[in-house]
Chains A and B, each alone.
Chain A
């Protein structure tokens, strides 16, 4: 005790013994205190990165200009309208330096080329993470207080989707995800409102189940409910993981409440003719181009055909022959809004087709299913399950109301606070991993979760996650001028008898008219300006293929002459382009000299034979439509306007705009219009 006091007093004496010494010591102390702040900055992480950057550029050829553009200190991109306060550029110093593209080490690499500037949009809009942070750990990986780490690169396109509600060329993953939201029925249960207030509408067509007992058996419904993908691998129907009892009770309810539909099948024989040619079925199926919309699994297990309609691999297991007969005769009696056209088959054709399709049977499928007659309590239990699982959100079901807001609204799911989310043990605490896990295995989040199991590949799950992550608060609060709206589908409806025909033939399933319809076949909004009457009449009677390389083709509909005339008249009168001059005449006319000049331009100057066939003996280009009889098909006004600017008539068409001068365009038009095709063609077949 004594000695400690002695040491302290001698130390006091040594430091503050006389006033001069005391003054010196206090000054030194003050100096040290003042040095804390600059030292802290000096040893900060970002400062070390900045020094490292200077060392990196020191030896480069353009060091002088790089150093001139370098500014020490903390950098910040502040965009109040977007809620962006990004200090990422404090360490990521080379983002805008074109010459640093070869630098591999981060954070100094140049940013890859993207359509937007860094200064206009900042970083976190696309990359996520914590913009204002100035350490790597806080900016990239912080999970404190519900903060999100940076977004894995595979979801980066969700950034684009916050402003761009339309489909972009460079974001295939986002586009796929958005298509899936509407095609896989997500929006039947989950409401999604776009920032402009419009609702995302479903584009799938879940069948109505009100007449289900006419179509199929209770045993098939049972097998289907147990595992939809076992019947058709490509179906979008999810698996509800039902128990045997539950599936049995649901099927009992559906069958017991099913009503008979008004189809008249009595006139049609359902038995195939005994002497029917066995090749008649496949060839009628082929000629009718059923495979443009329906797929069938081939021997190798690959799906062949389109995905617009249901897969037909095991159709014989599912439908009753009398239903199929009535359906092929007129699908709109069973389902008024089906995308399936009314083909106008003859009774004999229907018999052939029914026999052919019914033979698509897998004898193993559902063979072990034997259901006892259901009791009223079982049927009542089936109804309870249907209500609980929300089957009526997609399907029309007798005695069950379509539920409203059945599942959580997903309009801002991308910004949902992480604190409101229950993560599974061992899961990364990020929105993206939560969404992926929820889509991949919804029931892993608890047995009471109603969301069913969808059969999606990993890349489909990623695409869907990308589309969902784009639904953020920022996409709603940002200034309107940054928002790029989606092109909404119009509710265009053609009028009169022709309008009825267009609906019956389901033209909208493949073709687009005035902003409504499918994209499998050409947009016909201006078809009336493009084609000649005789050609259109012949084509509707017997569609021949214009593009030899296409495998999806227009089917033949057995139209009556009067229906054909009605449609032809309507198309030629109504679907006219305002930019095509109907009174256009070629000057000079189609004389031998101009035609020959056009031929030379076609073959030499513009080398159109690279993609088109004019002379089927010598030309081989089959990318564009065959032009051997284009003079009997198209109007000269259309050909001329097309040659001047193809994209003006059909945006996005692949034919390049060659910027033809007027003389060349006229000579080429004259040449093309002289191609009338072989004699006798074009007449009615």
Chain B
């Protein structure tokens, strides 16, 4: 009896060690290769310049680089400060540790992990007395969600996305009843999948909303509609927390 439990424990431990090893292997890209970098200055704040809140595709490089800036107490940029980028498992950076350039900025390309979802990144600078850090969120779309994003671009965004450019003019401002952006989590998170499905299939009037939203039930396939919903759930801000069966956790 004793021997059995010992054996089981050894297996547990070896399994644990295995997972720890896998986790370490997964993170190895974001580990700091700090050698050869010597900070010449230190800041007291770190802010995002651009590249946060992007939506990319699993396992690929985000379109725009992530740029952060180190500032001092007066809010002026600090060149030569050390910046380290960290990311949740699976994320990698083309350079994870660097010094800020002459304009006080540190720039890196971000490769998303292979699992769809939100990735929490952080940029840390040692600071004068204690390290200061900045949290950044990027989103990775899986296959289905990306199909949704492509469909949304084709059928939906001309009204639902208020961003307008000469290449793709948005109709948003011209509509009497304003459509909800797909990222509008505060509204869309409250709607069930069934409600979203029926408004896509049968148009606004199905939920007693504006007829300006036409029915797509004869144009999109059921898989297309599921993809669209998966996409809106993936980009919702605040994040979508699926209701449904809540399982007990350890």
Contacts and interface: CB of A to CB of B under 8 A. Distances in A.
Interface of A: 43, 45, 48-49, 51-52, 59-62, 99, 104-106, 109, 112-115, 152-154, 156, 169-170, 172-173, 458-459, 462, 549, 551, 604-607, 609-611, 620-623, 645, 647, 654, 656-659
B248 A59 contact: yes
Contact of B218 (A48, A156, A458, A656): A656
B230 A551 contact: no
A304 to B, nearest CB: 9
Given A607-B204, A659-B215, 11 more contacts: A60-B247, A62-B247, A106-B22, A114-B144, A169-B147, A170-B150, A459-B60, A459-B61, A549-B169, A607-B212, A647-B219
A43 to B, nearest CB: 8
A658 B215 contact: yes
B211 interface: yes
A607 B22 contact: no
Given A48-B11, A659-B217, A153 B114 contact: yes
A610 B214 contact: yes
B249 A59 contact: yes
Given A153-B59, A622-B171, A658 B214 contact: yes
Given A169-B147, A610-B212, A654 B154 contact: yes
Interface of B: 11, 14-15, 18-19, 22, 58-61, 63, 114-116, 142-144, 146-147, 150-151, 154-155, 158-159, 166-167, 169, 171, 174-175, 204, 210-219, 223, 226, 230, 245-250
Nearest to B19: A105
Nearest to A646: B219
Contacts of A659: 215, 217-218
B218 A658 contact: yes
Contacts of B210: 607
Contacts of A621: 171, 174-175
Contact of B211 (A61, A549, A605, A623): A605
Nearest to B156: A654
Contact of B150 (A109, A169, A458): A169
10 contacts: A52-B15, A59-B248, A153-B60, A169-B147, A607-B214, A609-B212, A622-B169, A623-B159, A647-B219, A656-B219
Given A59-B247, A169-B147, A659-B217, A48 B59 contact: no
A94 B151 CA distance: 29
A43 B12 CA distance: 11
B211 A170 contact: no
A168 B43 CA distance: 49
Rank and list the top 4 A-B pairs by shortest CB-CB distance, nearest first: A153-B59, A620-B174, A657-B218, A607-B211
A117 to B, nearest CB: 13
Contacts of A172: 150
A56 B143 CA distance: 26
A60 B248 contact: yes
Contact of B215 (A48, A112, A153, A656): A656
Contacts of B114: 153
A300 to B, nearest CB: 14
B40 to A, nearest CB: 30
Contacts of B248: 59-61
Contacts of B166: 551
B10 to A, nearest CB: 9
Contact of A112 (B18, B144, B150): B144
Contact of A622 (B116, B155, B174, B216): B174
Contacts of A59: 247-250
